[in-house]
């Protein structure tokens, strides 16, 4: 296991005087003392080369005097120079090259990486070295030519890693709990880069749709995560999710497919279809991810990296499936889930409401069990507090199988709960839903947080017989609550003056979700936060729906959102977040029961998605760390940043963690209202 408190290999080189930085800004240079060489430090490839050069010394045991920079390659047209060349152990005059390395930016494309491989192989052939390789951040590939291979061979001569101190290439690169050879946690920028590379590889220049590419990515992450957590792997044994010495992409793909099938047998409902990738594509993704420990990387790091990635992915074509995170966070803060609550989202999309509920309980664990490194029992109590909630108390239903897979992957990344995500229609008959997951029963859940689909309709002709008849709300609907249906016959209903329509052709989805939410909640105590289009709250034609709502729920709060709240997610419907409590049978709500009403204008972003938080810098250490208070109408965030030089041309602050500050914004107003609603009324 890598000790995060140890300095990096490059820092060790600086500390030991093997390298130093001189100058500032664009004129800053790195000087390699043993090689008598210097380069411009702002070059992104130089940072990759410097880090790997230090790794060769401190991890692999090569003498700095045997490593040369910018070695002229003979017989190459046009003239070329090798980035790094290691010479033989006794080769003081640098006559016998042993290993040739090309160093590239971490964000190069697969095509550029393949081109770099050919460049390295050509340089190696001209110099007569035994080995060569390419290092592009965490993506690396090394090839051996100490045995006879065809000139164009690039697979059977693949090495897992650089040999240590002129030794033999290792059979595997990563071994469980083996010092210096285990997987390690990674910082956020490196994880983001690896994720971006994977998606680029899977997208294949448009050959695969974004949603299909993302689905395949979820399967790969699932296998990777399970391989790391395999309890049957003994210490010192190699991980299966990596490419072995001389292993072809076909052999590697066969092993990954088998790992996936094994996990499918253990949990057949998690992922139902096979991995649909050609072996070279799958092998490339393995190379992008094999050195990362998803298990050891901090939850905050994983959460921010994956959420950013999914946020960018879902905006646009799939924006209707993605609820803005500020709205999710607000709903969670108001409902205040506790570890004993059973929580459901019956239209869970990518799992945002569930993940924020988990984070809410995890922060409660942080407060209850303040971290003390020496107290193993305290650490176990902290883990159990939130992990049991993740594993046993969070449930989601999603009709789109691809999105259900995304939600499962999201839960896996955040340490489980994925087996409670069901790919199914939440409006289906209850016996059908319980066939998928028996726990998804009537009157079971303490809290529901959801953003059901707007605008779509359930058509009688497309559903099984009596599908719509299971909903009592049909008796309360006026004709205009449905899609046009000239054949439908109406009749007056004495109940609350609403019109009932016999055999109506279709009903809007969000209306049916109201009744389904009611059915899932515990009578008397069950509460829901639901995003609803304002038409349900204001249209005269939907008075019957509101009548039904007030017969079955106590209206706790309505927070009106701006018109643009969902605009940059391709959904411009004016909506509100409505908070309700399910009533007991025969319970009535007094006419003067207080209702919290609020208008949120600044919700943290505008119609284009640009952030609109009011920012106050709480503290800052230049080019090291910074803490900001970011305020909007809903609540205030405290945001922690670290200085990132991942892009040397544009070093910038990189978000490490954010948390909602208690008792701020409308959350604080809601809490005050609960204690004393009288002072909110004139």
Q: In terms of Cα–Cα distance, which of 480, 551, 468 is closest to 512?
A: 468
Phi, psi (rounded to 5 degrees) for 605 = -155, 165
Q: Out of 3.20.20.70, 3.90.1570.30, 1.10.357.10, 3.30.465.10, which CATH number does the structure's domain 9-166 have?
A: 3.90.1570.30
**Nearest Cα to Cα of residue 135 among 174, 181, 100, 186:** 100
How far is 124 from 557, CA to CA, in rounded Å? 70
CATH topology of domain 325-454+514-587: Rossmann fold (3.40.50)
What is the SS3 assignment for 451?
coil
- Exposure string over 566-598, b if 16+ CB within 10 A, otherwise e: bbbbebebbbbbbbbbbbeeeeeeeeeebebeb
CA distance 517 to 263: 33
Residue 237's pLDDT is: 96
CA 130 to chain CA centroid, Å, is 41
| Rg, Å, the chain Cα set | 29
Give every residue of the chain whose pLDDT is below 70, as ranges: 1-7, 76-78, 205, 269, 304, 308-321, 372-378, 415-417, 478-504, 568-571, 646-650, 682
315 class by beta-carbon count within 10 Å (0-12 exposed, 13-18 middle, 19+ buried): middle
Q: What is the pLDDT of residue 314?
A: 58
pLDDT for 501 equals: 41
Q: Does 9-166 match 325-454+514-587 in CATH topology?
A: no
Please give the Cα distance from 147 to 169 (Å, whole number).
12
- Residue identified by tokens 């209903």 is 493
| Pairing state between β 394-398 and 343-345 | parallel
Q: In which order are the strands placed within the sheet that holds 67-73?
A: 67-73, 80-87, 97-103, 131-136, 139-144, 158-159
- Return d(Cα 583, Cα 560) in angstroms, integer: 23
Which pLDDT does position 24 carry in this prediction?
83
72-86: string of b/e by CB count within 10 Å (b at 16+)? ebeebeeebebbbbb
CB atoms within 10 A of CB 559: 25
Give residue 69's pLDDT: 97
Question: Rounded distance, CA 328 to CA 333, Å?
Answer: 9
Backbone angles phi, psi at 128, to 5 degrees: 80, 30
Render the burial of 391-422: b for 16+ CB within 10 Å, e for the rest: eebbbbbbbbebbbbbbbbbbbbbbbbbbbbb
Q: Where are the domains of the chain?
A: 9-166, 188-297, 325-454+514-587, 614-680
Are the CB atoms for 282 and 220 separated by under 8 Å? yes
- In this prediction, residue 609 carries a pLDDT of 80
The C-alpha atoms of residue 290 and residue 194 are separated, in whole angstroms, by: 10
- Cβ neighbours of residue 375 closer than 8 Å, sequence gap 6 or more: none
């Amino acid at each position: 296991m890598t000790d995060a408190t140890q300095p990096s290999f490059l820092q060790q080189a600086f500390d030991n005087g093997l390298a130093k930085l001189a100058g500032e800004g664009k004129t800053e240079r790195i000087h390699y003392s043993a090689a008598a060489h210097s380069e411009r430090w702002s070059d992104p490839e130089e940072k990759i080369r410097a880090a790997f050069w230090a790794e060769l010394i401190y991890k692999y045991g090569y003498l700095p005097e045997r490593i040369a920079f910018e070695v002229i390659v003979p017989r190459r047209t046009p003239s070329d120079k090798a980035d790094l060349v290691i010479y033989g152990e006794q080769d003081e005059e640098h006559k016998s090259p042993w290993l040739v390395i090309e160093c590239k930016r971490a964000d190069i494309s697969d095509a550029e990486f393949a081109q770099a491989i050919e460049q390295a192989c050509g340089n190696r052939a001209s110099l007569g070295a035994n080995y060569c390789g390419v290092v592009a951040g965490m993506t690396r590939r090394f090839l051996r030519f100490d045995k006879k291979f065809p000139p164009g061979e690039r697979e059977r001569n693949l090495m897992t890693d650089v040999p240590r101190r002129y030794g033999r290439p290792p059979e595997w690169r990563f071994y469980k709990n083996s010092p210096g050879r285990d997987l390690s946690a990674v910082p956020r920028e490196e994880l983001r880069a690896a994720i971006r590379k994977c998606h680029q590889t899977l997208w294949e220049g448009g050959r695969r749709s974004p949603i299909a590419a993302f689905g395949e990515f979820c399967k790969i992450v699932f296998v990777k995560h399970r391989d790391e957590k395999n309890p049957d792997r003994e210490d010192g044994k190699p991980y299966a999710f990596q490419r072995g010495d001389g292993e072809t992409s076909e052999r590697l793909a066969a092993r990954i497919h088998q790992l996936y099938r094994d996990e499918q047998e253990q949990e057949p409902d998690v992922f139902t279809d096979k991995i649909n990738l050609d072996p070279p594509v799958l092998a490339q993704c393995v190379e992008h991810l094999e050195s990362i420990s998803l298990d050891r990387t901090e939850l905050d790091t994983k959460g921010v990296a994956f959420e950013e990635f999914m946020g960018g992915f879902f905006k646009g074509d799939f924006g209707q499936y993605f609820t803005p995170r500020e709205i999710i966070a607000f709903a969670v803060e108001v409902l205040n889930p506790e570890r004993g609550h059973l929580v459901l989202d019956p239209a869970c999309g990518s799992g945002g409401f569930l993940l924020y509920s988990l984070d809410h309980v995890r922060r409660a664990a942080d407060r209850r069990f303040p971290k003390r490194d020496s107290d193993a029992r305290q650490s176990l109590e902290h883990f159990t507090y939130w992990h049991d909630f993740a594993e046993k108390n969070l449930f989601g239903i999603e009709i789109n199988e691809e999105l259900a897979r995304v939600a499962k992957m999201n839960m896996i990344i955040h340490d489980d709960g994925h087996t409670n995500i069901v790919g199914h229609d939440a409006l289906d008959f209850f016996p059908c839903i319980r066939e998928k997951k028996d726990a998804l029963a009537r009157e079971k859940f303490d809290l529901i947080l959801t953003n059901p689909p707007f605008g779509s309709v359930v058509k009688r002709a497309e559903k099984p017989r009596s599908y719509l008849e299971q909903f009592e709300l049909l008796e309360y609907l006026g004709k205009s609550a449905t899609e046009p249906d000239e054949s439908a016959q109406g009749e007056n209903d004495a109940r609350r003056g609403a019109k009932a329509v016999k055999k109506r052709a279709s009903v809007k989805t969000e209306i049916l979700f109201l009744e389904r939410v009611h059915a899932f909640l515990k009578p008397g105590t069950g509460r829901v936060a639901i995003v609803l289009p304002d038409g349900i709250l204001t249209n005269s034609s939907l008075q019957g729906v509101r009548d039904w709502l007030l017969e079955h729920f106590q209206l706790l709060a309505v927070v009106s959102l701006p018109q643009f709240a969902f605009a940059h997610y391709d959904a411009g419907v004016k909506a509100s977040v409505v908070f309700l409590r399910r009533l007991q049978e025969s319970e009535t709500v007094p006419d003067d029961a207080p209702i919290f009403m609020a208008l949120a204008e600044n919700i943290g972003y505008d119609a284009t998605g640009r952030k609109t938080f009011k920012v106050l810098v709480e503290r800052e250490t230049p080019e090291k760390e910074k803490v900001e208070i970011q305020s909007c109408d809903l609540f205030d965030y405290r945001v922690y940043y670290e200085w990132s030089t991942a892009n040397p041309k544009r070093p910038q602050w990189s978000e490490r963690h954010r948390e909602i500050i208690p008792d701020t914004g409308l959350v604080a107003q809601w809490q005050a209202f609960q204690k004393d609603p009288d002072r909110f009324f004139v």
